[in-house]
Amino acid sequence: MRLTVLGSGTIVPSLSRQPSAYLLEAGGLKILFDCGSGSLRRLLEAGAHPDDIDLMLFSHTHIDHTSELPLFLFSARYAPQARRRALRIAGSAGFVEFFAALERLYGDGISAPSYQRQVDALADGGEMRAGGVRIRAAAARHIPSSLALRIEAEGASLVYTGDTEYCESVVDLARDCDLLLCECSFPDGTSCPGHLTPSQAGRIAAEAGARRLLLTHFYPACEEVDRAAQARRTYSGELLLAEDLLQVSVEKVG
Ligand SMILES: [Zn+2]
Ligand SMILES: [Zn+2]
């Protein structure tokens, strides 16, 4: 599997970090985790194209994770030729309601007359398969119906936390994963309900036995501190810090 960070940022405007989006090439599929603003441009910069995406998985409906979804679908509908490739989209039940609201709002602008589209609900503890990929979901602690997502393909595993604070369901989902892509919003010592600090992210990785930890979703205050040193307080495995367009190969470790 190969992961490309498309957006390692948040709601805070940044010239270097766009809001959340990640491209995962796994099991013959191109998977997009979340679709924050700038996703289309970043896909092109990563050498991919929005019309190549087979599966979109959403952690939750916050705007920094979903804002470019309507544009993605509008582009698939009209520009320059209509999309042909089938597209699956999945998220929590709350996400499916959100998607239905988008369809009411944008109508034909985001309809899919030229390609097959399927929108699936993933529950806490739920599982789905697509191509050679197994996807499992678990509740994250952020807003109602937030999910963390685990992908298993090619003998390796990756877990994306989405936005969350510390919770055991995310630890369980991340058990022995080869790469934990973990949000890390604010520095240690700050109060950040619904989010993680570096040492809290490290705690999840350590308790789960994650082989590698990739921290992402940095608010500016988190960039002003030594995030790696703070994560090292709790996690001793291989540690990476996300940048937009960083590529990481995800292989079975150990
Ligand atoms: Zn967020
Ligand atoms: Zn959020």
Give the 3-state DSSP-derived string for 188-208, with helices as H, strands as E and coil as C. Answer: CCCCCCCCCCHHHHHHHHHHH
Going from the Cα of 149 to the center of ligand 2, the distance in angstroms, rounded, reads 15
Going from the Cα of 197 to the center of ligand 1, the distance in angstroms, rounded, reads 13
User: What whole-number distance in Å separates Cα of residue 89 and Cα of residue 11?
Assistant: 23
The two tokens of residue 116 are 């097959």
Catalytic-residue membership of 64: yes
Going from the Cα of 89 to the center of ligand 2, the distance in angstroms, rounded, reads 19
- pLDDT at res. 56: 98
- pLDDT at res. 80: 86
Which one of the ligands is nearest to 140 CA?
A: 2
Which one of the ligands is nearest to 36 CA?
A: 1
Residue 79 has pLDDT above 90, yes or no: no
Neighbours of ion ligand 2 (CB under 5 A): 62, 163
Q: Is 108 left (phi over 0), alpha (psi -120 to 50) or beta?
A: alpha
Which one of the ligands is nearest to 164 CA?
A: 2
Going from the Cα of 217 to the center of ligand 1, the distance in angstroms, rounded, reads 7
- pLDDT at res. 120: 97
Residue 174 has pLDDT above 80, yes or no: yes
pTM tops 0.95: yes
Catalytic residue chosen out of the listed positions 51, 54, 64, 244: 64
User: What whole-number distance in Å separates Cα of residue 147 and Cα of residue 155?
Assistant: 23
Q: Half-sphere exposure of residue 32, counting CA atoms within 13 Å on the CB side?
A: 30
Rounded to the nearest integer, the mean pLDDT of the chain is 97
Residue 183 has pLDDT above 80, yes or no: yes
Going from the Cα of 9 to the center of ligand 2, the distance in angstroms, rounded, reads 11
pLDDT tens for 47-60 read 999 999 999 999 99
Residue 253 has pLDDT above 90, yes or no: no
